[in-house]
Amino acid sequence: MKAKEMWLAIFVLMVVVITGCSQKVEPVAIDEKNDKCAVCHMAVGNNQFATELVLKNGRVLKFDDIGCMYRWMKEHESETVEATFVRDYETNDWMEARKATYVYDQTIHTPMAYNVISFNDEDKAKKFVEQHGGTVLTYSELDRHTWERNKEMMMEMKKEHMKMEKQKGDHMGN
């Protein structure tokens, strides 16, 4: 191979590698009929609480609560995460988790009672705190967050779920 052809081959290879590496990872649509949380196995709603992470190998994991996503990451530290996505609490729009601002308050109802919500704008998060209470957190502060579930809220949700199941059974003639 001549030097000119070799340099051309190297250039083409570099372009292919750079193009392949620069593909932007995007969130995947939620399928409410089939998607289950990778941690708690509850249905993932197409709502402001849904989160996703994309592994380096392209596998997409979905979660019904940001706390479940953080629990998964802690339990699977050896996995290489390519991207994490959360939804804006007010608009349901997807955003990269590292670009979001978060609010934690024990009274915020989330599917698994981790009580953390995300906003695409820091000012909106601060406004939420002014109106409802809570603490504004940055993405980097989430790593130090305790991720404890609100046990009282979980018990309330369990009672409500059992009540709904009973009513459903009563309507079906059971």
Residue-wise pLDDT tens digits, 30-82? 999 999 999 999 999 999 999 999 999 999 999 999 999 999 999 999 999 99
Q: Is the dihedral of CA 136, 51, 63, 98 positive or negative?
A: negative
Pick the more confident residue, 173 or 120: 120
Binned at pLDDT 50, 70 and 90, residue 171 comes out as low
For the chain, give the mean pLDDT: 88
Residue 132 phi, psi dihedral angles, 5° rounding:
-120, -10
- For residues 5-37, b (16+ Cβ closer than 10 Å) or e, as one string? eeeeeeeeeeeeeeeeeeeebebeebeeeebeb
Binned at pLDDT 50, 70 and 90, residue 21 comes out as low
Report which secondary-structure segment, H or E, holds 52.
strand 51-55
Binned at pLDDT 50, 70 and 90, residue 166 comes out as confident
Would you say 111 and 65 are in contact if contact means Cβ atoms under 8 Å apart?
yes
